[in-house]
């Protein structure tokens, strides 16, 4: 296994918890609205040639909440400061779900901040057809199960969420959901002005989406394809909202090919 560590870095006026692992050119990873799930097989594969930098979002337990961050645009601005102060720009980035929303806000504000942008089942844009799942209407256990098409056929899902949830795990999930609600409730997990601001972003972009995603509809993928000139789409058949663990091999292959271009 690649060596990875968790440390706290003082950056952008905050003490930011960050997971680091691998070797090579930095690759920024923005986790989803449920928090960083742990070091998985896809992390291990990409860490063979890249140094993964995974900030743990403010308000999610490991990093203290930052009160001035009131929405996802603010959060994108905070992470942009992090990227600049760590001298990472132009960075390669992978954003998962709400993490994709954050990356898109960053690219809209500063098109030169990323060299490559991978958005995995991204929220952030209102779909022309379908709706982003109202996961706050679900219990955390049902929310988790909804993120994969077939939990029983996804071994790493059991690795992350298997067995009885400990009080500490439950509290961490509720912290994440509370912070997500605070900054993304209205409008629900999208920014109506974001597609217009993305028109100026020519960042090479790959949108990865599982064809059985029950959280983010195909309409969000089409919205990103329309908003970002030249955006590519990689569909992973049979996968749900977590293609990186549902079909790790195809996911890694698509990401590696795109980042090498």
pLDDT of residue 158: 87
pLDDT of residue 192: 98
219 near 129, Cβ under 8 Å?
yes
73 near 95, Cβ under 8 Å?
no
pLDDT of residue 168: 82
Question: Could you state, in chain order, the average pLDDT of each consecutive group of 10 residues for the chain (261 residues)?
Answer: 86 97 97 95 96 97 96 98 98 98 98 97 96 95 94 90 76 92 97 95 95 98 96 98 98 98 88
Q: Is 115 helix (H, G, I), strand (E, B) or coil?
A: strand
Pairwise CA distance, residues 58 & 75, whole Å? 9
Q: What is the CATH number of the domain that holds 241?
A: 3.40.50.1820
Sign of the torsion angle spanned by Cα atoms 143, 17, 57, 149 = negative
Query: Quick one: how many helices (H) and strands (E) in the chain?
Result: 10, 8
Give me the residue label for tokens 């199960």.
Answer: 145
* 168 sits in which H/E element: helix 167-184
Q: Is 224 helix (H, G, I), strand (E, B) or coil?
A: helix
Calculate Rg over the CA atoms of the chain: 17
Give me the residue label for tokens 């990472």.
Answer: 88
Pairwise CA distance, residues 71 & 78, whole Å? 11
Closest CA to 56 of 72, 79, 81, 73: 79
Pairwise CA distance, residues 240 & 148, whole Å? 5
Query: Facing residues of 7 across strands?
Result: 18
Tokens found for residue 181: 């609600």
Domain containing 72: what range? 4-260
Sign of the torsion angle spanned by Cα atoms 165, 145, 47, 20 = negative
Q: Is 40 helix (H, G, I), strand (E, B) or coil?
A: coil
Closest CA to 231 of 261, 207, 252: 207
In the chain, beta strands by DSSP E: 4-11, 14-22, 25-30, 50-55, 91-96, 114-120, 205-210, 232-236
Query: Facing residues of 18 across strands?
Result: 7, 55
pLDDT of residue 170: 82
Q: Is 209 helix (H, G, I), strand (E, B) or coil?
A: strand
pLDDT of residue 119: 98
What's the total number of domains in the chain? 1
pLDDT of residue 1: 52
* 171 sits in which H/E element: helix 167-184
Q: Is 119 helix (H, G, I), strand (E, B) or coil?
A: strand
pLDDT of residue 43: 97
């Amino acid at each position: 296994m690649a060596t990875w560590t968790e440390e706290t870095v003082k950056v952008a006026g905050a003490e930011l918890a960050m997971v680091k692992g691998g070797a090579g050119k930095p690759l920024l990873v923005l986790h989803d609205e449920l928090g960083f799930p742990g070091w998985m097989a896809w992390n291990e594969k990409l860490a063979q040639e890249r140094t993964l930098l995974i900030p743990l979002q403010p308000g999610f337990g490991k990093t203290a909440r930052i009160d001035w961050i009131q929405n996802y645009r603010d959060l994108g601005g905070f992470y942009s400061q992090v990227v600049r102060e760590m001298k990472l720009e132009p960075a390669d980035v992978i954003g998962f779900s709400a993490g994709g929303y954050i990356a898109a806000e960053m690219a809209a504000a500063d098109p030169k901040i990323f060299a490559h942008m991978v958005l995995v089942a991204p929220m952030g844009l209102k779909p022309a057809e379908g709706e982003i799942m109202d996961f706050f209407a679900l219990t955390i256990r049902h929310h988790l199960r909804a993120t994969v098409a077939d939990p029983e056929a996804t071994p790493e899902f059991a690795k992350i969420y298997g067995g009885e949830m400990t009080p500490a795990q439950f509290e961490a999930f509720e912290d994440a959901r509370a912070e997500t609600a605070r900054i993304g409730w209205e409008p629900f997990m999208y920014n109506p002005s974001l597609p217009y601001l993305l028109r100026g972003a020519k960042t090479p972009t790959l949108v990865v989406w599982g064809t059985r995603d029950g959280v983010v509809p195909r309409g969000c993928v089409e919205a990103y394809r329309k908003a970002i000139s030249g955006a590519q789409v990689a569909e992973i058949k049979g996968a749900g909202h977590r293609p990186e663990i549902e079909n790790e091999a195809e996911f890694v292959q698509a990401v590696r090919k795109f980042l090498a271009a």
